[in-house]
Amino acid sequence: MPYTLPDLPYAYDALEPHYDQETVRIHHDMHHKAYVDGLNNAEAKLAEAREKGDFGLIKHWEREYAFHGAGHILHTMFWQNMSPNGGGEPTGSLADQINKDFGSYDAFKKQFSAAAVAVEGSGWTVLCWNKLFNKLVILQVEKHQNLTQWEVCPLLIVDVWEHAYYLKYQNKRAGFVEAWWNIVNWEDVNSRFQAAMK
């Protein structure tokens, strides 16, 4: 089955005023769809290479597969990590783990925001559960797939590619990141954390 663009879990304008309707529409309908299309194409080319036994372009198609596949996964999670009823602070075991691993929610938020603003070029910042380390970690991801760690489960992500915020925030990435905290879907993040801990 080909991969498909998932529907948004809310209306295009539901995240206003923090995330504007036009950016959400373009970001989802055009940018995210391009990664879905790229993933389908890369998978088809890899299947063709296996059928023909011709792996002359394997490096290219594996790179495309990683790039577009990771882009699709991260965007899908990005939409779910936000909610019109979001914001505030995490609660329960997630809050306890944040306090344990970062000292406090405020310290976590400052580190996560600083990491997001400092991503070089295009990429993401991700809060992950590292099963091997048995702790929460914050990672910067360049493009969609560089600078990650193995054995991590992503819980919370923010997209800091310019297409994610440029219409409303222009080059003010820090302004976008600060506004984004108002729409973080902690219920979704907590459910991901509970699943990662099992």
* Residues annotated in a binding site for Mn(2+): 27, 75, 159, 163
**Cβ(67)–Cβ(145) under 8 Å?**
yes
Residues 79, 76: Cα–Cα separation, whole Å: 6
Burial of 124 (0-12, 13-18, 19+ CB in 10 A): buried
Burial of 21 (0-12, 13-18, 19+ CB in 10 A): middle
Give backbone dihedrals phi and psi of 10, rounded to 5 degrees, phi first. Answer: -160, 170
Find, among 132, 150, 136, the residue nearest to 108 by Cα: 136
